[in-house]
Chains A and B, each alone.
Chain A
């Protein structure tokens, strides 16, 4: 079964606004990763946050991790039309080299 679940399923915002999406998971993890997928393409890795980290930044991206609540959030600041994509969280377990993906959040940025 899938480990991660994203919320919301879909998000529509105006260019320049911030977009926040959440991911919840079920078991202890080694790290949590966020990926972006443009329509019909492969996934691109955005950011990895380890279980002993609480917050991480990369450009306009900010990721938080709360292991006590088994949840993570991805914030995209000052969104652009090019940010329109599906965003997936993926969890890596400590004794496993596989990733478990959620169903994704579809983000539409309106010009």
Chain B
């Protein structure tokens, strides 16, 4: 079982709210990733980090932002949530360059 955690698991909020999705891993992995996935669809990379104080935008444009102040923590923030942000958000991490990624259980976000 991978030691990567995401909270909350489910979140229902109103439009305009600011939210932060938490992701933590205890494996000491340097590389971390955020994906967005609609039901039954592929994963889209929205942010990634290769180490502390390093963050990059992914292939899918996203209005969210991320930070990496500590190796184990990679939170994702939406300043003003909209219904179009409704989706599942998956966090992953890995060590090394070309190894497998370990995924958290995901946060299912619904914006009303």
Which of B11-19, B43-51, B64-72, B76-84 interfaces with chain A? B43-51
Binding site for A on B (CB under 8 A): 6, 31, 33, 35, 40-43, 45, 48, 50, 58-59, 88, 90, 92, 97-106, 108
B100 in contact with A48 (CB, 8 Å) = yes
Inter-chain pairs besides A44-B103, A103-B41, A104-B40, 13 sampled, C-beta below 8 Å: A30-B98, A31-B98, A40-B106, A41-B106, A48-B100, A92-B98, A97-B31, A97-B98, A98-B58, A99-B45, A99-B101, A101-B43, A106-B40
**CB-CB under 8 A for A101 and B48, given A42-B103, A43-B90, A44-B103:** no
Cβ of A2 within 8 Å of any chain B Cβ, yes or no, is: yes
For the residues of A in contact with B, the DSSP-based class is strand
Binding site for B on A (CB under 8 A): 1-2, 30-31, 33, 35, 40-45, 48, 86, 88, 92, 97-104, 106
**CB-CB under 8 A for A45 and B100, given A40-B108, A97-B31, A98-B33:** yes
Chain B residues with CB under 8 Å of A88's CB are: 42-43
B42 in contact with A42 (CB, 8 Å) = no
Measured in the bound complex, the distance between the Cα atoms of B108 and A43 in whole Å is: 14
A-B contacts, CB under 8 A, total: 55
A97 in contact with B97 (CB, 8 Å) = yes
- Of B43, B88, B97, B106, chain A has the most CB atoms within 10 Å of the CB of B43
Sample 25 A-B pairs with CB under 8 A, ordered by A number.
A1-B59, A2-B42, A33-B100, A40-B88, A40-B106, A42-B90, A42-B103, A42-B104, A42-B105, A43-B90, A43-B101, A43-B103, A45-B100, A48-B99, A86-B40, A88-B42, A88-B43, A92-B98, A97-B31, A97-B97, A98-B45, A98-B58, A99-B101, A101-B43, A104-B40
